[in-house]
Structure formats: C-alpha cells, structure tokens
Amino acid sequence: MAKRIEAVNVSAYYGAFRAIDNISMTIEPKSVTALIGPSGCGKSTFLRSINRMHEVLPGAKVEGQLLIDGQNIYDRDIDVTAVRRTIGMVFQRPNPFPTMSIYDNVVAGLRLNGVRKKSLLDAACEKALRGANLWNEVKDRLNRPGAGLSGGQQQRLCIARAIAVEPQVVLMDEPCSALDPISTLAIEDLIAELKNEYTIVIVTHNMQQAARVSDRTGFFSIDKTGEPGRLIEYDDTAKIFTNPSVKRTEDYITGRFG
Amino acid sequence: MSQQSLTTTPASPSGAGGGGALPRGSRFGAERAFRILATAAGSTVLVIIVAIAAFLIAKAIPSLRADSENFLTFKDWFANESPPTFGIAALAFGTVVTSALALIMAVPVALGIALCLTHYAHRRVASTLGFFIDLLAAVPSVVFGLWGRDYFRGPVSDLSTFLHDNFGWIPIFGSKGPYGASILLGSIVLAIMVLPIVTSLSREVFLQTPKHNEEAALALGATRWEMIRTAVLPYGKPGIIAAVMLGLGRALGETIALALTLGAVYNVSFDLLGISGNTIAANIALKFAEANPTGRSALIASGLVLFAITLVVNVTARAIVYRRREFLGGAA
C-alpha cells in the first residue's frame, strides 16, 4: 500500500522562473516526511511536483526524475491521471466539491475510476470516512452538502476523499493552516494513524507540528527573493530539531531566521 | 512607548481617535443619501414591471371583449374584421417552438465554445475568439433576418430536402415541400442570434469556478473533461441556467428576424420543414401598421401573453435554482 519516493535532481519552473533547484531526496514508505522552510522556498512546489500537479498551472514545468518504486512518473508514456490516482493530495484550504453531498464527495474519485456499484461505493465511503475519523460525526447525514461541515470536518472529508481511492502516497500541503487548534489536533492524530498504510509527505509552516507528526524532516530555503529554493538539510526529525548539521537549519528552527 | 508619553499626548482636535467626546453622526449624511438612492433605483424595476403589466391589461381588454372567438384556443388572426376573430394559439405555439428549437441548437454549441475558451484554448486564441463572439452579439437582428431570408434560405431548403429524404418517417420532417420560410429556417437564424449571449455569459460563469475545486478534481486523477464534469459544470449550473434564460428571453422577444424568416402562417403544426410558423412578436411587427383600434388592442393582448410566457419561464428557472440552493456553495 505504500511506495518509496525518490527525487533525483528535480527542478521546477514557473515560466522562466526557477522555483526549486536540483532537489534530491528519498522518502521511505509508511513514514511521515515533513517539509519545512520559509515562505517562497519551494516546498509546496516540490510537493506538487510529486504528483504532477505543478504542471497544471500555465507555463509551469518540471525537470529531473521522480521515481515511485523505481518508475519515473515524468516518463513520456506515463498516464498522468494514473499518477495522481496513486498519489493523492490534500490541499491547504479544505476544498470539498460544493455541489456534492458528503457521500458524493468521498466517492468522487471512485466514480472517476468507473466504479458504479452501489454496494462497493457504500463500503468504500464508510471505510474512507472511518479512516479519516469522520464517520461518527457524519454517518447520519451523508446526503447533506459537504460544504456545510465545519472547516476541520471539511478537511477530514478531503482526506477521506483522497484515501477513498486507496492511493500509495498522500501529499498534504499545509493541511492545518486554515484550522483551529482542536481540528489541527484531530488531523495530526489522523496522520499518525494513516502512516501505518500510506507514505505521507506534509508541508507545514508549523515547526511544532513537523516535530510532532513526522519521522523525517526536510528543510528548504532560499538565498534571497528571486533565487530558487533548495533542500538545505534532510534528516531524522529528532536530529533536525535537536542537533541539525547545518547552521542555517539551526537558525531557522530556533527562530533566528525566517 | 512609555506611560508618560501616552498621557501627555494631546487629544486630536478633530475628534478622530484619541480623547474627547465621540463625534455625532450626521442624520442626513452621504451614507443615508446613498441608501435612499440605491433603494429608489431598486424599486424602479418593480414600478416599471407593474406599469407595463397594467398598460398591457388595460389596452388588451377592449379587444378581448370584442373577440367573437376563444382568444386562447383560436388559431387565426382577423382582428381588423367586424366582428373581429382572433386567437393566440398558433402564435404562442410558434413562439415557444421556435425558441425551444433555437435553444436546443444553440445551448450545446454555446457551452462547448465557452468551455473551449475557458479550459482548452490557449489564452491568446481564447481572447481573439471571445472578441468575435461578442462582435456577433452586436449584429442588428434585421441583418440576421435579411441574411436568413435572402441567402440562408437556399442551404436550409437543401437541408430540408436531405432531412425529408432520409428521415421523412419522423413526422417533424414529413413535409414534401415546397421548402423555404419554415420553422427550421427561423429557429436556425434565431439559434445563431442567441449563441453569443449564452456563450459570453457561460464563459463568465465557467471562469468563476474556484481553482481549488478544479485542482481537487485533477488531484483525484480526473482527466480535463472529467474535471469539467465534476467541478466546473455542477458549480456553474445556476449560472448556466441564468445564461440560457437570458438567451430564451431574447429568443421569445425576437421580432424582425423571425418576421423575415418564418412563413407567417397561423397554424399549430410540428412540421419543421414546410412553409409555416409565426410568433407573437413577429406578428405584432407585421400587423401593427395596418391595424385598426381593435386590431391594435388585439396585438397588445398578444403582447400580454408573451409577457406571461416570459414570466412563467423565469419563475420556473428560479425555482430550479432555488431547489438546489444548499448544494450551490454560494454560487446561487
């Protein structure tokens, strides 16, 4: 259920602007990897290049190799929709489909894959909502609009929608930045459970969060505005937060910079 | 800043911030004036609608009293005779059928163009194409009418022959000819006229789709078309309905183009190919000049019916949008 991600010299561009430069890192299966760093350092761009969502923006492109269990997702004959089904994503702002019920939101990905049988959809819906710790709160109102839930519930709904298609990897782009502390805690508990089945990569601005939820942490930074973001240090979370090898990492996590 | 300097800062003389009594609000200030202006502008709409309805009803009553046939079911229009005999059946039927056909032809094409402009075409191509669409909307309807009558009739006659030869077993294509000023010609011309309105409005609607919903669909592994089906179309539904309704409004009220392209025949028939068809607005344009007082009053009565049809159509559309409001996420 979980796959290893290897980035080899990944650079990403917005038009002519190079947003990240030569990122190489290996992300182990069934682990939580946090990407931290100041705003504009390219951590979200890198995250979006892992499931080929970066190229959705006009003029954006990616260079280098990104291997999922040894297979380069940027190979020419790769089906990009299959990549995104294998590597799910949760966004910064909860974004359930506003026109759909809770149920329809959860099974949207399965329906896109051609699953039509009611019994299969029902089972997958319950499994995903239980997996996202949302089942008990919404089981009696599955046909209500998804947009009517609270922010934290909406974000868990989005997580349920992402895991309903049983991806190998779940990418999270600052999933708690729009949520209150209690909802944040619920999501963090969920991340700890999800890592038993999925490879998780999470971008966060919150260093305590990175320290709490992740096994390994990558620190991204830029030299100055207009320069591409680089991976400064990548190591076990405990080491990054207690004894980083690079001075810049230490400056950042102790608050002297960024 | 120390406590000392805070206490010694003098209160600003204007009373904005700082100490001193709060300034009094002006009872007749700009805020109040603007509210009155805005309310007045808003109520103008209601006043105009009520005034039009009252005018139509008042002017229609004399002829409806004089009509010696049933106004709602009689098909022919001899309002200048004495006794006058006229009825709305054929005209109302023709109005609804030509408009419906025009929409059936125009809406899928318009939505296709709008989706192409917003989600497929390169930005520069899209803005050029959008410009031409808007230009099409600016062509006066009499030009469409003359073009339809003088040039487009030939191709449509050929199309009619083709449809009859191959699909003649379908009653709507049953006519053996002669072909020419038919419901088919009128509704195709009308479709071309409605197309730019529906296109520009639905283009605006599709541009409103939140990017984060489109990304959500793509991240689930949707192709572009699946993304449009999952995120763009459902979100834009109220807007699309509104666009179609405005298109229908134009179609129902279109006068001169249909006066020039339809057969001006008072009949109720689903035959699309033969010389046939008339609408309320086209009939008013054709008959008004030669009408006597009763005839004019009768034409106004037909206008009242058109007004009512438009009202029913709009209320229905509103009801459709309202019924799904919980799922429209602020788009309604």
Q: What is the CATH number of the domain that holds B170?
A: 1.10.3720.10
pLDDT of residue A1: 52
List, as ranges, residues 137-196 from A with C-beta within 8 Å of B: 144-145, 147-148, 158, 161-162, 165
The matching CATH number, chosen from 3.40.50.300, 2.60.450.10, 3.40.1160.10, 1.50.40.10, for A5-96+168-253 is 3.40.50.300
- Residues A116, A107: contact at Cβ < 8 Å? no
In a domain, B258, yes or no: yes
Whether residues B222 and A112 touch (CB distance < 8 A) is answered with yes
pLDDT in tens, chain A (258 residues): 578 899 999 999 998 899 999 999 999 999 999 999 988 889 999 999 999 999 988 889 999 999 998 899 999 899 999 999 999 999 999 999 988 999 999 999 999 888 899 999 999 999 999 888 899 999 999 999 988 899 889 999 999 999 999 899 999 999 988 888 888 888 899 899 889 989 999 999 888 999 999 999 999 998 888 889 999 999 999 999 999 999 999 989 888 765
Chain B touched by A51 (CB under 8 Å)? yes
pLDDT of residue B17: 59
Q: What is the dihedral of CA A184, A189, A191, A194, to 10 degrees?
A: -150
Q: pLDDT digits over B290-327, tens only?
A: 989 999 999 999 999 999 999 998 888 888 777 766 66
pLDDT of residue A202: 95
Structure tokens at A232: 């400064």
Environment class of residue A35 by beta-carbon count within 10 Å: exposed (0-12), middle (13-18) or buried (19+)? buried
Chain B residue numbers with beta carbons less than 8 Å from the beta carbon of A108 are 217, 220, 230
- Residues A37, A220: contact at Cβ < 8 Å? yes
Q: How would you classify residue A114: left for phi > 0, otherwise alpha for psi between -120 and 50, otherwise beta? A: left
State the average pLDDT for chain B: 87
pLDDT of residue B323: 74
In a domain, B72, yes or no: no
- Describe the crossing of helices B293-323 and B30-66 by its angle, rounded to 10 degrees: 130
CA of B216 to nearest chain A CA: how many angstroms apart? 7
Quote ipTM for the complex. Answer: 0.90
- Residues A218, A36: contact at Cβ < 8 Å? yes
In a domain, B66, yes or no: no
Inform me whether the pLDDT recorded for B147 exceeds 80.
yes
Environment class of residue B219 by beta-carbon count within 10 Å: exposed (0-12), middle (13-18) or buried (19+)? buried
Whether residues A112 and B234 touch (CB distance < 8 A) is answered with no
Mean per-residue pLDDT, B92-118: 94
Give CA–CA dist B297/B80, Å, rounded. 10
Tell me the backbone φ, ψ of residue A25, rounded to 5 degrees: -160, 155
Q: pLDDT digits over B16-46, tens only?
A: 556 678 877 777 788 888 999 999 999 999 9
Mean per-residue pLDDT, B209-213: 90
Whether residues B230 and A84 touch (CB distance < 8 A) is answered with no
Inform me whether the pLDDT recorded for B7 exceeds 50.
no
One-letter amino acid for residue A167 of the chain:
P
| Distance of alpha carbon B134 from the chain centroid | 16
The residue among A158 and B271 whose pLDDT is bigger is: A158
The CA–CA distances, whole Å, from B105 to B13, B33, B145, B184, B272 equal: 69, 48, 18, 11, 14
Structure tokens at A144: 């209500």
Tell me the backbone φ, ψ of residue A166, rounded to 5 degrees: 50, 65
One-letter amino acid for residue A138 of the chain:
V
- Residues A43, A220: contact at Cβ < 8 Å? yes
- Residues B224, B119: contact at Cβ < 8 Å? yes
DSSP code per residue over B123-192:
HHHHHHHHHHHHHHHTS-HHHHHHHIIIIIHHHHHHHHHHHHHHHTTSGGG---S-BSSBHHHHHHHHHH
| Total domains in the fold of chain B | 1
Whether residues B219 and A81 touch (CB distance < 8 A) is answered with no
Chain A residue numbers with beta carbons less than 8 Å from the beta carbon of B327 are 98-101, 145, 147
In a domain, B223, yes or no: yes
- The DSSP letter of residue A145 is B
One-letter amino acid for residue B190 of the chain:
L
- Residues B262, B181: contact at Cβ < 8 Å? yes
- The DSSP letter of residue A175 is T
Chain B residue numbers with beta carbons less than 8 Å from the beta carbon of A145 are 326-327, 329
- Residues B309, A80: contact at Cβ < 8 Å? no
In a domain, B320, yes or no: yes
Q: What angle do CA B97, B102, B106 make, to 5 degrees?
A: 155
| Neighbouring-strand partners of residue B233 | none
The percent of residues above 70 in pLDDT, for chain B, comes to: 91
Least CB-CB distance to A109: which of B213, B220, B223? B220
Return the residue in B220, B232, B325 with the most chain A beta carbons within 10 A, the one to mutate for interface testing.
Answer: B220
Tell me the backbone φ, ψ of residue B297, rounded to 5 degrees: -60, -40
Q: How would you classify residue A2: left for phi > 0, otherwise alpha for psi between -120 and 50, otherwise beta? A: beta
Distance separating the N- and C-terminal Cα atoms of chain B: 51
CA of B242 to nearest chain A CA: how many angstroms apart? 17
In a domain, B280, yes or no: yes
| Distance of alpha carbon B259 from the chain centroid | 19
pLDDT of residue B31: 85
Whether residues B218 and A162 touch (CB distance < 8 A) is answered with no
Residues of B near A (Cβ–Cβ under 8 Å) read 123, 210, 212-213, 215-223, 226, 230-231, 234-235, 237, 324, 326-331
- Its domain, for residue B262, covers 89-327
Least CB-CB distance to A112: which of B230, B324, B328? B230
Inform me whether the pLDDT recorded for B198 exceeds 60.
yes
The CA–CA distances, whole Å, from A149 to A155, B202, B234, B326 equal: 9, 29, 19, 12
Q: Scanning every residue of chain B, which has its alpha carbon at the shortest distance from the alpha carbon of A50? A: B219
In a domain, B49, yes or no: no
Tell me the backbone φ, ψ of residue A118, rounded to 5 degrees: -55, -45
